[in-house]
Chain A
Amino acid sequence: MRWHFVKSLALAAAFGLASTSLWAQGPGGPGGPGGPGGNQRGNSSADEMIARLMKLDANQDGQLTKDEVTDRRLLRLFTAADANNDDVVTSDELQTYLASQASSMRGQQGGQRGQGGPGGPGGQGMGPGGHGMGPGGMMGPPRIGEVMPAFVQQMLNLTPEQQAQVAALQQKVNAELAAILTDDQEAQCAQMMQGGPGGQQGGTRGQGGQGGQQVGPRGQGGPGGRGQR
């Protein structure tokens, strides 16, 4: 009996330790509801896209043959995904193809919640990292140096003239930022924006930073983006 007691005490202690260490880890705070789910969301986006393409699967056998692709505009996608060139595209081939696309282009489905983004720098106590809002369907970490994302421009109802001015400003910012950063730094920026290691998953935070004073508030998850059209 006593041994059981000790064991459950030990378990409780271990659990307690585990949970506190979780908090100690992230003064940057997770990016908000969009955050920890970020990685999984990435996967379900692929699933949703595959489900969408599989609507063409007329005989419901879980794979697409070339003649099932009645929308000839998608033949190119079909051929690109058909890794073994057997004129059949399986779910696995699609997964692989999507993964390769995702790394070269961050755009995901409009209906997705944004990725949590990298945790804020330690010690700041802010956890806005999550670029969770995406009514316009802009997903992924915010582009470094972006003056004003398109969906914000729409939300603010910028006049055409204002939009043109912002575009011109963006051009200037791009040029000057390129002049400030070294090539190496630019490459790192590019990598971060493409969801390089640590940038993509909600789970991995950049180092929590030394002894964060406070746990940062969770960044806004923001409304989920508009559903897929």
Chain B
Amino acid sequence: MLLGGAETPRSHLLIEGMLLDMNQSTSFSRRRWMAGAFGIACFTTRGLYADYLFPSPSMTEGPFYPDKMPLDQDNDLILINDNITPAVGEITHLTGRVLTTSGEPIRNATVEIWQCDANAVYLHTADSRSKQDQQDKNFQGFGRFETASTGEYRFRTIKPVPYPGRPAGHIHAKVKVGGREVLTTQIFVRGAEGNARDGIYRSAGDVIDRELVTADFIPVPGSKIGELAASFDFVIGRTPDDRSFPSTRRAPR
């Protein structure tokens, strides 16, 4: 899963980049000055710290981030612990990377996903309490994964389905870095007919933003059980509180 940045010639080093690298504790205002001075250069030169990825749009958390964590919080939402009965739904392998806007992988990022089951019931008790007969008890409903040095993550879950009031099936996602939430968003299915009718999808922003929250769910070649694969990168933009942001030092390749 190579990005354009992976092939960036290192000869395009910016002075700003070198200064930042030398001085991890640069004060915010000084960085602002440097960013201003070299701001234009940042976009036109593919330097070490140039921003060339659009940050993932933020989307509403919704009301159903689990209130009670399931006993099993791993990255396989289709099988709960040692249960042998899988969840109902179209099995989907959701993979991607957690990256900075300069394309650097973010290690030790925690990715969490949650979604309603194939019968449109969320794990959250406010939703499931009145739908006990409808709920798929074999669906874990929530999963968590921590990235390693490549920033890669993976989940096995089901293709999301519509929920009353939400014609567009979607997977909720949260990314935390260093214990701090840096992104809450949703992942939508390319080509789902409900997307055009979903108010939240439509208000994701402009056409670019909607692209950035939409994933292609593609059949896995050779799968006998109709598995799908979806790729989705979480691109984390810089926040003012950069001191607590992980090091942007390039990971060894």
Contact = CB atoms under 8 A, between A and B. Distances in A.
A56 B5 CA distance: 13
B3 to A, nearest CB: 6
A154 B200 CA distance: 12
A168 B165 contact: yes
Interface residues of A, number: 50
A10 to B, nearest CB: 48
B228 to A, nearest CB: 17
A77 B211 CA distance: 7
Given A98-B207, A137-B205, 7 more contacts: A72-B4, A105-B202, A159-B126, A160-B64, A167-B163, A170-B165, A228-B206
B204 interface: yes
A104 B193 CA distance: 12
Given A49-B206, A167-B163, A70 B212 contact: no
Interface in A37-88: 45, 48-49, 52-53, 55-56, 58-60, 67, 69-74, 76-77
Nearest to A74: B211
A168 B127 CA distance: 11
Contact of B164 (A45, A107, A159, A168): A168
Contact of B203 (A69, A70, A110, A168): A110
A167 B4 contact: no
Contacts of A107: 201-206, 210
Interface residues of B, number: 40
Contact of B165 (A70, A71, A167, A228): A167
A109 B202 CA distance: 10
Interface in B70-90: none
B126 A164 contact: yes
A160 B4 contact: no
Interface string B73-116: 00000000000000000000000000000000000000000000
A150 B203 contact: yes
Given A70-B52, A72-B4, A167-B166, A58 B44 contact: yes
A6 to B, nearest CB: 54
Nearest to A163: B63
B164 A71 contact: no
Nearest to B54: A71
Contacts of B200: 150
A171 interface: yes
A138 B204 CA distance: 9
B21 interface: no
B43 A55 contact: yes
Nearest to A138: B203
Given A164-B126, A168-B164, A106 B208 contact: no
B164 A228 contact: no
Contacts of B196: 104-105
A76 B87 CA distance: 32
Interface in A168-211: 168, 170-171
Contacts of A149: 199
A51 B164 CA distance: 36
Contact of A52 (B45, B63, B166, B206): B206
Contact of B57 (A77, A108, A229): A229
A7 interface: no
Given A73-B211, A164-B127, A45 B63 contact: no
B208 A77 contact: yes
Contacts of B127: 160, 164
B192 to A, nearest CB: 13
